[in-house]
Structure 1
Amino acid sequence: MNLSFWYKSKVELEICTIFYIIFIMQNTKREIEPELKRCAEYFPVVTILGPRQSGKTTLSKMFFPSYRYVNLEDPEIFALAQSDINEFFNLFKAPLIIDEIQRVPALLNKIQVLADENKQNGQFILTGSFQQGLKSAISQSLAGRTAVINLLPYSISELLQIGQNFSKDEYLYQGFMPRHYSENQPVDLLYRSYFQTYVERDVQSLLNVKHKNLFEKFLRLVAGRIGQVVNYESLANDTGVSSTTISEWISILESSFIIFRLEPYFENFTKRLVKSPKVYFYDTGLACYLLGIKNAEQVSRDPLMGNLFENMTVLEILKSQYNKGEGKSLYYFRDSKGFEIDLIIQNGRSIVPVEIKAASTFNAEFAKNLKKFTGFAKNAMNPTVVYSGNLECESDGVKYLNFKRCESLVE
């Protein structure tokens, strides 16, 4: 949305932009809010994990407007928290929001003591954008005292609330970072900045990468393998580092909420199953940036368009699970002969097999693998094709669903 076309002066544009940001913030209800409310009612501490710029701070401040707020990215506050924890909590008393708790995990022990003393629920709201080590520290220090929820960038259904209704190519290119929609940031500037300030700074500092160009090459290679089975040896050969280094880099990217792995589904259907995970990005806008895609028109012509669409669909279903307070229970199925089901949603002892197609025209052939799979997978139910077409129906026992409603697959 380019506002400059409608306003003659810079002042008018700035005023309009401010009101636009306020409108977006006030009218975009995050679907995780009921789960956040429920957790705060039953636990003294709630920990919100998720990618940087996914909206954790905004959600915390707007949902708990009377709470004090402190950000450990502030150098002075960071220094105080490290040097004198007691003075830190003398200055910043509960109820309290602490942003980027992974910066000073030593605070968790004191939070445990204070939570036990206060005996009130919802006293501390913690946010974190790095999982490695933090989850372990939380489970040790705050066992039984905190609920952990995962907040990812906007979902399609959240964007539809505020009238952001696009084609699949626009969604893929623009991505789902709240700042793009609340501050009207150009996509190219947003992801270039995101890459330079968060991916390069945070991830490379954790890895102590000596050759910046190799790590950037690795990231672009990972983007080029989106939705594909991870082959560490191939990545190592193409990047020019060891397989061990690739494994370490993949783990850090996952812990930093840059990528996530989709594990294969195992059942006694056959002994010859692929056992390596697939890799996807937590935001398709970043993936498009790394692939060098410069506009939505290029998305439709890109050889990886189908992979990007698959990434977006899997991610939408993952967001729906997290927003309902569920853990990730998503898989894919592939045997050694190449027979594959794009997504398996586990629902108790039952599974929902899903085929994902970027095409916009209905085609009964989309269900071919689903029918074969349900023939031998007796616990499979509600086989579904998610595609970009508008015709939603059920044909020969298979449901056809538009991608904008794929979150409905999560019960």
Structure 2
Amino acid sequence: MIPRIVDLPKSRSFFLFGPRQTGKSTLVRSRLDASSWSVDLLESDLYLRYARAPEMFRKEAEDRIARKGVTTIFIDEVQRLPDLLNEVHLLIERHGCRFILSGSSARKLRRGGVNLLAGRAVERQLFPFVHAEIANTFDLEDALRFGTLPAVHGRPDAEKADILGAYANTYLREEIQQEGLVRNLGGFSRFLDVAAAQSGELVNFSAFGREAGLPTRTVQSYYDILEDTLIGCRLEPFIKSARRRLVAHQKFYLFDTGVTNAVNRRLAGPPDAALRGRLFEQLMVLETMRMRSYRRSEARLFFWRTNGGAEVDLVVERRGRPAAAFELKAKKRIAGADLTGLRAFNDEHPRVPRAVVCDAPEPYELEGIRILPWKVFFEELPQILG
């Protein structure tokens, strides 16, 4: 098993959230001992029994605590049965039992108004592999095309394509409907196709709705579903400026480049130059978001863009101020034309360090801007995020 860098509490109860097939169950089970009890809510008989009578879970847990000395209980896919959290709360209060609760949506539970244990359990997130976890076998072209989900790592290309195709068609479309999140599967499928095609671009709900043939409010709700199920994430615009009119629309990225390509039906061969550039940007942004979560950093991430079109792909803010600005370019040789956005950003924020993350073999400096190979960027992320 490949070691994961997420820092899971050793004695406290915790939620572990993450998209499907990121390895949550495998990770947790690898750390359980003989004093643990696992409950998988994907098992139909268990799900139906506890759905009919949630108190039965508490009674069975108390029996195991008393007779078998169980001290840790792992509930997998807890979002399928939120009412169990009331029973979990009682068990923590009465017996001091430790709970590990995994699922694919923290926001879905919060929106449902369920008991999130009032601070008795901390939250962690698990993502597809980051570079630090698979550095010895990491291949950039493979990651751009197939992503870094544990389920595809190390497999032949044909198997990777099959797994990702099933993920896109079975989970993203059918299971989301089965979980009651959407009623109109056809409309959601059209939305998903357009969302994947526009991953990393500015989100304009009304224009998107016209392209997908959906009302604007429906488009907004579907984006919320992707975020609720951790299938996508937003990147907000950095709009602090005294002199320029800045774009206020968000960007939205699907959580994995391989899943993006699967939805777009672009797994058959390597991406062309234009697509490779977009996937490179997506991968760099996702890696930064994942590492920020793993480090529990207080840094905030943005992009910066003026109405005139000058843009910086990634701005890291720390303690309320921009701490670093990055342009993300999938090319080996950086020219002056690639620095336009960073020059414009420097006019507004002259003391902020700037860099271009790219395919260059070695770091160097151009016009006072660092040119960083992507490997160096990955290595420096802990210091960048603080």
Length-normalised TM-score, structure 1: 0.83
Counterpart in 1 of 2:120? 145
1:219 counterpart SS class: helix
Equivalent residue pairs, number: 370
Deviations 1:128-174 (A, max 9, x none): 112343135688441121111111111122121xx3231x3321111
- Output the amino acid matched with 1:337: G
Q: Does 1:195 align with 2:168?
A: yes
Counterpart in 2 of 1:159? 134
Q: Does 1:48 align with 2:21?
A: no
Match of 2:263 among 270, 278, 290: 290
Q: Does 1:275 align with 2:248?
A: yes
* Distance in 2 of aligned mates of 1:244 and 1:377: 36
Checking the alignment, whether the CA contact within 8 Å between 1:362 and 1:391 is kept in structure 2 is no
Q: Does 1:116 align with 2:93?
A: yes
1:48 counterpart SS class: strand
Counterpart in 1 of 2:333? 361
Counterpart in 1 of 2:104? 129
1:143 counterpart SS class: helix
Checking the alignment, whether the CA contact within 8 Å between 1:192 and 1:289 is kept in structure 2 is yes
Alignment of 1:4-403 (within 5 A): 25=1, 28-32=2-6, 35-36=7-8, 39-41=9-11, 43=12, 45-66=13-34, 67-92=36-61, 93=64, 94-119=71-96, 123-136=98-111, 140-160=115-135, 163-166=136-139, 168-181=140-153, 186-205=159-178, 206-212=180-186, 214-270=187-243, 272-297=245-270, 299-301=271-273, 303-326=274-297, 329-351=300-322, 352-378=324-350, 381-403=352-374
* Distance in 2 of aligned mates of 1:381 and 1:29: 35
* Distance in 2 of aligned mates of 1:295 and 1:224: 16
Distance apart, 1:296 and its partner CA: 4.6
Unaligned 5+ segments in structure 1 are 1-24
Question: Structure 1 pair 394/116, CA: closer, same or farther in 2 (3 Å)?
Answer: farther
Checking the alignment, whether the CA contact within 8 Å between 2:108 and 2:228 is kept in structure 1 is no
1:341 counterpart SS class: strand
Unaligned 5+ segments in structure 2 are 65-70
* Distance in 2 of aligned mates of 1:78 and 1:232: 37
* Distance in 1 of aligned mates of 2:77 and 2:102: 5
* Distance in 2 of aligned mates of 1:211 and 1:47: 30
Which has more helix, going by share of residues?
1
Deviations 1:78-114 (A, max 9, x none): 1122223332133345411110000111111121222
Question: Structure 1 pair 270/82, CA: closer, same or farther in 2 (3 Å)?
Answer: farther
- Output the amino acid matched with 1:274: V
* Distance in 2 of aligned mates of 1:406 and 1:118: 47
Checking the alignment, whether the CA contact within 8 Å between 1:317 and 1:406 is kept in structure 2 is no
Question: Structure 1 pair 111/328, CA: closer, same or farther in 2 (3 Å)?
Answer: farther
- Output the amino acid matched with 1:180: V
- Deviation larger for 66-75 or 184-193: 184-193
Distance apart, 1:353 and its partner CA: 0.8
- Output the amino acid matched with 2:31: F
* Distance in 1 of aligned mates of 2:154 and 2:33: 19
Question: Structure 1 pair 131/201, CA: closer, same or farther in 2 (3 Å)?
Answer: farther
Checking the alignment, whether the CA contact within 8 Å between 2:16 and 2:102 is kept in structure 1 is yes
Length-normalised TM-score, structure 2: 0.88
Question: Structure 1 pair 368/113, CA: closer, same or farther in 2 (3 Å)?
Answer: same
Checking the alignment, whether the CA contact within 8 Å between 2:174 and 2:185 is kept in structure 1 is no
Distance apart, 1:54 and its partner CA: 0.6
Question: Structure 1 pair 219/328, CA: closer, same or farther in 2 (3 Å)?
Answer: farther
- Output the amino acid matched with 2:77: E
Counterpart in 2 of 1:11? none
- Deviation larger for 110-119 or 170-179: 110-119
* Distance in 2 of aligned mates of 1:51 and 1:328: 22
Deviations 1:297-342 (A, max 9, x none): 2x134x3321111111100011111111236721111121112111
Checking the alignment, whether the CA contact within 8 Å between 2:301 and 2:315 is kept in structure 1 is yes
Identity over the aligned pairs, expressed in percent?
A: 26
Question: Structure 1 pair 64/135, CA: closer, same or farther in 2 (3 Å)?
Answer: farther
* Distance in 2 of aligned mates of 1:71 and 1:138: 23
Question: Structure 1 pair 103/317, CA: closer, same or farther in 2 (3 Å)?
Answer: same
Runs (4+) off by over 6 Å: none
